[in-house]
């Protein structure tokens, strides 16, 4: 009989530490160490749901069709800041085919007052009479046809009282700016300050001090699948199909908001067309769908249009960061200071960690960070693949290169001079931190020591002159992140009567390949071939709790739980086999679906299960606690080579070498895709992506996929993904850590450093557009301004 | 699609009209308004949800289908324009129940992540290989430059298309 033990343990999600309970049954999992002979885990494995995704069979949220399902359209606010004076739905109601209308005030009236979710804010605030950004949703119309719903939405008459607005970050922070919220425009009323040591003394002791300001733009997630929900009620039970990264989050939060028992809510998402952090929680589409469906007793589909998705679907916050570094002549850092300003949009409920890269990446006893979150009359920001860390790494890694230049030191040598030996915020040891391996392998592959030393050529001499027209440069940057995951996370392994296996998990596969990896883990631990295992996920009605697929935590949280469940099932199977073959379980092994005693095959798993008839073997497992005395980190370095056309200003990324420690690589095929994907998003962030708002009118100007410029297939460089592949057994017994966020973090910084290397002028503002390059070349100073 | 006399639009509507559409070899009778896009006709009227709605404006390529073998953004076609033409969607690619070699290559070379752009990518790639059976990497990039992938699966896509081209040639 297994008695569960209760642990309290720390789990890090997106830079924040949460204390969670772990309920662990049974013995600790034996670790898969570096010598472990694995036959399935660690090998390139095609996605187990590949056929569904390439054939059109996979049902994403908006593909679900339910009998009687109705379609919806939105009424949105045209003003950046306004009060609703009057809302008239009469004409819309009268249109044939219209089945229901729901206004934001009606939503607020039906949501439990004062509700709050872990990452989000108070619901009532977002559904009142005051609207705080152009594009904010006022009402939703349901009709039997999408075109009828659109027509009806145009018949809804709204009278607004237009209020003063402010959409620019640096304007919103000024004391005389229009107020977004009655309590002011500053998040929490004051900056967040984190410090250690004594920076005043640190800068005094420095031989060289550099101080610069860096600016980054808002980056829209631009998920190809917009946010969307389908809701239907059976009696008082609510089922939601939701485009989400966390089905249990949807279930629990909606149950809370609508004052329903969790056992009466079911959330389903088996395929999602991109999330990148923007689909962490239920929100607008979920509430409108659930409440409209309850009102009209029909299934209701609510899906953002592309314009609304780009405005309200979330984005990485724009930021202004001033970094000050002090160092000795030999490069040893004596003080690190960062002042950051970040644009939270209208309802941002937390502060992205702009400061942590500066505070963590380099060993320095004196450090100070001040981060100010600012509200503006724009769509609310949302976590976007390593929120805060991408922005903050661009700043600190640019500053480190500028410090290296001031010291006359090689930029990589400066990094190597200041490698941290422990996690400086928690004072704990790193679980593993092989950054020197990443530096060495990455530098070797790009040819760092041979990068051309260019004489400083006056910029104006370079412009337009033919042999000097294309300038090449190489730059690097490193990154740190969490990605250790943790409990609670569970799995159930069922052996069917034909010897096949059903793995039940409540997790998600947001395109990362987690479904495949968990199938591999289950098959490996059970001793069965991969094809014998089918994994279920994405349905709270069919499996136990799993955490969000975000924060690079799915594999690190779920793989140990799946191993534990498979191990539990295997033990039961061997116990049964021992009884049937009159021996003891410790003499038996399972390989390739066959039970062996020493070298002799006794029976296949299939034969054994067939003997049992309908009697079932079911194993359960849960994720154990995280280590108390170590902080789980991922780390890595990227080296980028760029070519700058000094005539047009266009930057072309030629090559990126990526060396990332993410623990054991569970599936090299999907790992490579993760790294390439993160780098490509980083290239967009570095060169072309920028949310543009007309500040005078308070209007978004590029809320579409033509004017907001995502990288295309033509923008992709050579990418070398190096296999660091060192199992991190301090982190968890599978040795795996997350790989979702690490690859996007250093890319823009490496590119910016490469551009500076190419043209001899530093551009301190993203995206590095041709206009900025040409301005930098002409002025030779690279301090071009864009309005934030 | 060349504009010729035989394809000159007839005056139709307002209000719903009868329309016959040939999709994946089968003819369907629809009753739709002239403003209905081909994309909505496929997804809403015919329940063929393999073709995805992403931007509705011709900026992303996710809705790519074939009309008489040519790759077309279905969000920019009116259903009424497509009468009498052969429409092929992702659902129509299977050959004798088996995945098309391009679909198979996408799986083998991990040319997808979330999968939402995948239908459009594959339809564009099939049309490319019809036009250029032995493409260079530059041909593949040119042929697929009208299909966005936010996850960044582009390198896998290029690998898959080149591999499939080789397989189809042999």
Note down the domain range covering A706: 315-483+629-779
pLDDT of residue B1: 46
Which element (helix H / strand E) includes A676? Answer: helix A668-687
Q: Which residue of A has its CA nearest to B42?
A: A63
User: For residue B104, what are the contacts with CB-CB under 8 A and spacing of at least 6?
Assistant: B164
CB A658 within 8 A of CB A679: yes
pLDDT digits (tens, 9 = 90+) for A265-318: 999 999 999 999 999 999 899 999 999 999 999 999 999 999 999 999 999 999
Q: Same domain for A525 and A636? A: no
Determine the average pLDDT of the residues in A666-670: 98
- Assigned token pair, A363: 């060993």
Q: Give the distance from residue B84's alpha carbon to the nearest chain A alpha carbon, in angstroms.
A: 24
Nearest by CB to residue A225, choosing from B93, B116, B119, is B116
In the block, residue with structure tokens 């040819």: A447
Considering the domain boundaries, does residue A206 fall inside one? no
Instruction: Return the residue in B90, B114, B118, B163 with the most chain A beta carbons within 10 A, the one to mutate for interface testing.
Output: B114
pTM: 0.96
pLDDT of residue A277: 97
Q: Examine residue A767 and say whether the peptide bond preceding it is cis (omega within 30 degrees of 0).
A: yes
Q: Same domain for A358 and A465? A: yes
User: For residue A116, what are the contacts with CB-CB under 8 A and spacing of at least 6?
Assistant: A122, A123
A50 contacts on B by Cβ (under 8 Å): 106-107, 112
Instruction: Return the residue in B66, B151, B160, B164 with the most chain A beta carbons within 10 A, the one to mutate for interface testing.
Output: B151
Nearest by CB to residue A53, choosing from B91, B108, B115, is B115
| Alpha carbon distance B95, B87 (integer Å) | 16
Q: Same domain for A134 and A278? A: yes
Partner-chain contact B60 A705, CB within 8 Å: yes
Q: Same domain for A478 and A490? A: no
Q: Same domain for A137 and A159? A: yes
Considering the domain boundaries, does residue A510 fall inside one? yes
Considering the domain boundaries, does residue A172 fall inside one? no
Partner-chain contact A714 B108, CB within 8 Å: no
Q: Same domain for A261 and A409? A: no
User: Nearest 5 degrees, angle CA A191-CA A690-CA A398?
Assistant: 60
Model confidence at A783: pLDDT above 50 = no
Considering the domain boundaries, does residue A159 fall inside one? yes
CB A80 within 8 A of CB A167: yes
B40 contacts on A by Cβ (under 8 Å): 146-147
CATH match of B101-169 with 1.10.150.120: yes
Partner-chain contact B155 A46, CB within 8 Å: no
Q: Which residue of A has its CA nearest to B105?
A: A54
| Alpha carbon distance A601, A1 (integer Å) | 29
Question: Can you give the three-state secondary structure of A413-468, one letter per residue?
Answer: HHHHHCCCCCECCCCEEECCCCHHHHHHHHHHHHCHHHCCCCCCCCHHHHCCCHHH
Model confidence at A26: pLDDT above 90 = no
Partner-chain contact B152 A711, CB within 8 Å: yes
User: For residue A30, what are the contacts with CB-CB under 8 A and spacing of at least 6?
Assistant: A733
pLDDT digits (tens, 9 = 90+) for A713-758: 999 999 999 999 999 999 999 999 999 999 999 999 999 999 999 9
Between the alpha carbon of residue A62 and those of residues A16, A71, A305, A310, the distances in Å are 33, 10, 12, 18
Partner-chain contact A271 B115, CB within 8 Å: yes
B44 contacts on A by Cβ (under 8 Å): 71, 145-146
Q: How far is CA A157 from the centre of its chain?
A: 39
Considering the domain boundaries, does residue A591 fall inside one? yes
Which element (helix H / strand E) includes A98? Answer: strand A98-103
Q: Same domain for A425 and A516? A: no
Partner-chain contact A54 B151, CB within 8 Å: no
**Backbone dihedral region of A3: left (phi > 0), alpha (psi from -120 to 50 degrees) or beta?**
beta
Number of other residues whose CB lies within 10 A of the CB of residue A183: 11
pLDDT of residue A463: 54
Q: Same domain for A281 and A321? A: no
| Alpha carbon distance B42, B44 (integer Å) | 6
Partner-chain contact B116 A274, CB within 8 Å: yes
The DSSP secondary structure of chain B, one letter per residue, reads ----GGGPPPP--SS-EEEEEEETTEEEEEEE-TT-BHHHIIIIIS--TTSPPS-SSSSS-TTEEEETTEEEEGGGSBGGGGTTSEEE-GGG--BTTBPPHHHHHHHHTT--SS-TTHHHHHHHHHHHHHH-SS--HHHHHHHTTT---TT--HHHHHHHHHHHHHHHH-
Closest to A548 measured CA to CA, from A29, A120, A24: A120
Burial annotation A239-268 (CB, 10 A radius, 16+ → b, else e): bbbbbbbbbbbbbbbbbbbbebeeebbbbb
Model confidence at A787: pLDDT above 50 = no
- Assigned token pair, B17: 């009209």
Partner-chain contact A46 B108, CB within 8 Å: yes
Partner-chain contact B148 A712, CB within 8 Å: yes
> Residue A564 is part of a domain; what is its CATH number?
3.30.365.10
Considering the domain boundaries, does residue A212 fall inside one? no
Q: Same domain for A299 and A231? A: yes
Nearest by CB to residue A62, choosing from B53, B90, B141, is B53
Interface A:B, Cβ pairs < 8 A? 162
Q: Which residue of A has its CA nearest to B54?
A: A224
pLDDT bin (cut points 50, 70, 90) of residue A118 is very low
Closest to A540 measured CA to CA, from A155, A215, A262: A262
Instruction: Return the residue in B116, B118, B137, B146 with the most chain A beta carbons within 10 A, the one to mutate for interface testing.
Output: B116
Nearest by CB to residue A146, choosing from B40, B150, B154, is B40
Nearest by CB to residue B153, choosing from A146, A222, A673, is A673
Q: Of A273, A303, A333, at which residue does a domain stop? A: A303
Considering the domain boundaries, does residue A784 fall inside one? no
A56 contacts on B by Cβ (under 8 Å): 48-51, 89-91, 119
Residue ranges covered by each domain of chain B: 5-92, 101-169
| Alpha carbon distance A712, A687 (integer Å) | 12
Q: What percent of chain A has pLDDT over 90?
A: 89
pLDDT of residue A448: 97
Partner-chain contact A714 B141, CB within 8 Å: yes
**Backbone dihedral region of A327: left (phi > 0), alpha (psi from -120 to 50 degrees) or beta?**
beta
Closest to B103 measured CA to CA, from B85, B86, B114, B118: B118
Nearest by CB to residue A65, choosing from B47, B55, B142, is B47
| Alpha carbon distance B95, A474 (integer Å) | 48
pLDDT digits (tens, 9 = 90+) for A277-287: 999 999 899 99
pLDDT bin (cut points 50, 70, 90) of residue A19 is confident
Which element (helix H / strand E) includes A401? Answer: helix A389-407
pLDDT digits (tens, 9 = 90+) for A40-70: 999 999 999 999 999 999 999 999 999 999 9
pLDDT of residue A736: 97
A713 contacts on B by Cβ (under 8 Å): 140-141, 144-145, 147, 149, 154, 157-158
pLDDT of residue A453: 55
Phi, psi at A96, each rounded to 5°: -60, 135
Q: Give the distance from residue B28's alpha carbon to the nearest chain A alpha carbon, in angstroms.
A: 19
Instruction: Return the residue in A145, A224, A652, A680 with the most chain B beta carbons within 10 A, the one to mutate for interface testing.
Output: A224
Q: Examine residue B14 and say whether the peptide bond preceding it is cis (omega within 30 degrees of 0).
A: yes
Nearest by CB to residue A680, choosing from B50, B62, B152, is B152
Q: Where are the alpha helices (DSSP H) in A297-388?
A: 306-312, 356-360
The DSSP secondary structure of A506-541, one letter per residue, reads ----SSS-HHHHHHHHHHHHHT--GGGEEEE-SBTT
Q: Same domain for A707 and A752? A: yes
pLDDT bin (cut points 50, 70, 90) of residue A784 is very low
Partner-chain contact A224 B141, CB within 8 Å: no
| Alpha carbon distance A527, A574 (integer Å) | 11
Closest to A641 measured CA to CA, from A720, A730, A537, A576: A720
How high is the mean pLDDT of chain A? 94
Q: DSSP class of residue A263?
A: G
Model confidence at B4: pLDDT above 60 = no
pLDDT of residue A117: 45
The DSSP secondary structure of A628-668, one letter per residue, reads SSEE--EEEEEEEEEEEETTT--EEEEEEEEEEE-BS-S-H
Partner-chain contact A54 B118, CB within 8 Å: yes
Burial annotation A446-456 (CB, 10 A radius, 16+ → b, else e): bebeebeeeee
pLDDT of residue A665: 98
Partner-chain contact B107 A512, CB within 8 Å: no
Q: Which residue of B has its CA nearest to A508?
A: B114
Q: How far is CA A144 from the centre of its chain?
A: 36
Q: Which residue of A has its CA nearest to B143?
A: A713
A716 contacts on B by Cβ (under 8 Å): 152, 154-155
| Alpha carbon distance A111, A97 (integer Å) | 27
pLDDT digits (tens, 9 = 90+) for A460-512: 455 555 668 999 999 999 999 999 999 999 999 999 999 999 999 999 999 99
pLDDT digits (tens, 9 = 90+) for A617-652: 999 999 999 999 999 999 999 999 999 999 999 999
Nearest by CB to residue A710, choosing from B103, B141, B148, is B148
Instruction: Return the residue in B37, B141, B155, B163 with the most chain A beta carbons within 10 A, the one to mutate for interface testing.
Output: B155
CATH architecture of B5-92: Roll (3.10)
- Assigned token pair, A206: 């420095």
- Assigned token pair, A23: 């309920």
Considering the domain boundaries, does residue A661 fall inside one? yes
pLDDT of residue B14: 81
Q: Same domain for A757 and A734? A: yes
Nearest by CB to residue A224, choosing from B57, B117, B155, is B117
Number of other residues whose CB lies within 10 A of the CB of residue A578: 18
Which 3 state secondary structure label does DSSP give A144?
coil
> Residue A153 is part of a domain; what is its CATH number?
3.90.1170.50
* Tally of domains in chain A: 3
A19-23, A91-95, A193-197, A759-763 — which is least confidently predicted?
Answer: A19-23
Q: Same domain for A91 and A45? A: no
pLDDT digits (tens, 9 = 90+) for B40-80: 999 999 999 999 999 999 999 999 999 999 999 999 999 99
Which element (helix H / strand E) includes A92? Answer: helix A90-93
CB A109 within 8 A of CB A124: no
Q: Where are the alpha helices (DSSP H) in A529-594?
A: 554-580
């Amino acid at each position: 009989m297994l008695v569960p033990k209760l642990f309290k343990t720390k789990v890090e999600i997106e830079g924040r530490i949460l204390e969670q309970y772990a309920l662990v049954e049974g013995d600790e999992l034996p670790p898969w160490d570096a010598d472990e002979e694995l036959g399935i885990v660690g090998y390139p494995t095609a996605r187990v749901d590949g056929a569904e995704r390439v054939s059109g069979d996979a049902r994403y949220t908006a593909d679900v069709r339910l009998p009687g399902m109705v379609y919806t359209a939105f009424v949105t606010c045209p003003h950046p800041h306004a009060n609703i004076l009057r809302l008239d739905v009469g004409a819309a109601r009268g249109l044939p085919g219209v089945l229901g209308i729901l206004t934001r005030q009606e939503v607020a009236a039906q949501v439990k007052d004062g509700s709050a979710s872990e990452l989000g804010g108070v619901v009532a605030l977002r559904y009142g009479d005051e609207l705080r950004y152009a594009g904010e949703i006022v009402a939703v119309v349901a009709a039997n046809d999408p075109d009828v719903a659109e027509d009806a939405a145009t018949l809804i008459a709204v009278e607004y009282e237009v209020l003063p607005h402010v959409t620019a970050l640096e304007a919103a922070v000024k004391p005389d700016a229009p107020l977004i919220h009655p309590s002011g425009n500053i998040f929490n009323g004051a900056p967040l300050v984190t410090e250690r040591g004594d920076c005043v003394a640190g800068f005094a002791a420095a031989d060289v001090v550099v101080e610069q300001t860096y600016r980054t733009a808002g980056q829209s997630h631009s998920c190809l699948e917009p946010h969307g929900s389908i809701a239907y009620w059976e009696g008082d039970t609510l089922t939601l199909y939701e485009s989400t990264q966390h089905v249990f989050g949807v279930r629990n939060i909606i149950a809370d908001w609508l004052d329903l028992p969790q056992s009466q809510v079911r959330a389903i998402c088996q395929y999602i067309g991109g999330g990148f952090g923007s689909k962490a929680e239920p929100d607008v589409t979920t509430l409108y769908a659930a409440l409209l469906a309850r009102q009209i007793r029909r299934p209701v589909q609510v899906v953002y249009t592309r314009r609304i998705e780009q405005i309200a679907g979330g984005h990485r916050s724009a930021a202004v960061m001033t970094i000050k570094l002090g160092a000795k002549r030999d490069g040893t850092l004596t003080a690190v200071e960062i002042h950051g300003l970040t644009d939270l949009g209208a309802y941002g409920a937390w502060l992205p960690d702009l400061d942590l890269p500066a505070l963590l990446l380099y060993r320095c006893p004196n450090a100070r960070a001040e981060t100010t979150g600012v509200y503006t009359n724009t769509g609310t920001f949302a976590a976007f693949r390593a929120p805060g860390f991408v922005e903050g790494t661009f700043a600190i890694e640019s500053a480190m290169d500028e410090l290296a230049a001031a010291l006359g030191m090689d930029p990589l040598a400066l990094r190597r001079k200041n490698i941290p030996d422990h996690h400086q915020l928690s004072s704990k040891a790193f679980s593993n931190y092989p950054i020197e391996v990443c530096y060495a392998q990455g530098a070797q592959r790009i040819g760092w020591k041979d990068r051309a030393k260019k004489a400083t050529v006056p910029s104006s001499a370079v412009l337009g002159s033919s042999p000097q027209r294309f300038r090449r440069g190489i730059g690097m940057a490193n990154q740190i992140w969490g990605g250790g995951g943790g409990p609670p996370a569970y799995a159930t392994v069922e052996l069917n009567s034909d010897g096949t296996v059903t793995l039940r998990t409540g997790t998600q596969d947001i395109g990362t390949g987690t479904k495949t990896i968990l199938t591999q883990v289950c098959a490996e631990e059970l001793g069965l071939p991969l094809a014998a295992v089918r994994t279920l996920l994405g349905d709270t009605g069919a499996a136990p709790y799993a955490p969000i697929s975000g924060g690079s935590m799915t594999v690190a949280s779920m793989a140990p739980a799946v191993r534990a469940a498979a191990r539990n099932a295997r033990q039961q199977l061997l116990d049964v086999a021992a009884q049937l073959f009159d021996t003891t379980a410790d003499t038996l092994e399972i390989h390739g679906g066959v039970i062996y005693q020493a070298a002799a095959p006794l029976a296949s798993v299939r034969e054994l299960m067939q003997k049992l008839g309908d009697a079932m073997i079911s194993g359960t497992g849960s994720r154990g606690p995280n280590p108390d005395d170590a902080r789980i980190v991922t780390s890595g370095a990227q080296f980028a080579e760029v070519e700058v056309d000094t005539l047009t200003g266009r930057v072309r990324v030629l090559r990126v070498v990526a060396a990332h420690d993410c623990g054991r690589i569970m599936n090299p095929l999907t790992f490579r895709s993760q790294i390439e994907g993160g780098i490509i998003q980083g290239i967009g962030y570095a060169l072309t992506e920028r949310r543009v708002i007309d500040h005078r009118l308070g209007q978004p100007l590029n809320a579409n996929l033509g004017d907001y410029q995502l990288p295309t297939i033509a923008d992709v460089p050579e990418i070398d993904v190096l296999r660091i592949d060192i199992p991190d057994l301090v982190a968890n017994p599978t040795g795996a850590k997350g790989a979702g966020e690490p690859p996007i973090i250093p890319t823009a910084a490496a590119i910016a450093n490469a551009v500076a290397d190419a043209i001899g002028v530093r551009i301190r503002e993203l995206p590095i557009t041709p206009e900025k390059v040409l301005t930098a070349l002409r002025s030779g100073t690279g301090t071009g301004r864009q309005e934030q | 699609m060349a504009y010729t006399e035989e394809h000159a639009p007839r005056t139709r509507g307002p209000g719903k009209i009868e329309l016959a559409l040939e999709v994946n070899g089968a003819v369907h009778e629809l009753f739709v308004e002239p403003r209905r896009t081909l994309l909505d006709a496929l997804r809403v009227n015919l329940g063929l949800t393999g073709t995805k709605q992403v931007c509705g404006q011709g900026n992303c390529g996710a809705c790519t289908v074939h009309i008489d073998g040519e790759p077309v953004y279905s969000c920019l076609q009116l259903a009424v324009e497509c009468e009498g033409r052969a429409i092929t969607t992702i659902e129509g690619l299977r050959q004798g129940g088996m995945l098309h070699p391009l679909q198979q290559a996408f799986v083998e070379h991990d040319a997808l992540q979330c999968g939402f752009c995948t239908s459009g990518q594959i339809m564009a790639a099939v049309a490319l290989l019809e036009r250029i059976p032995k493409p260079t990497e530059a041909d593949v990039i040119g042929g697929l430059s009208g299909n966005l992938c936010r996850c960044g699966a582009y390198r896998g896509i290029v690998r898959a298309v080149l591999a499939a081209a080789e397989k189809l040639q042999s």
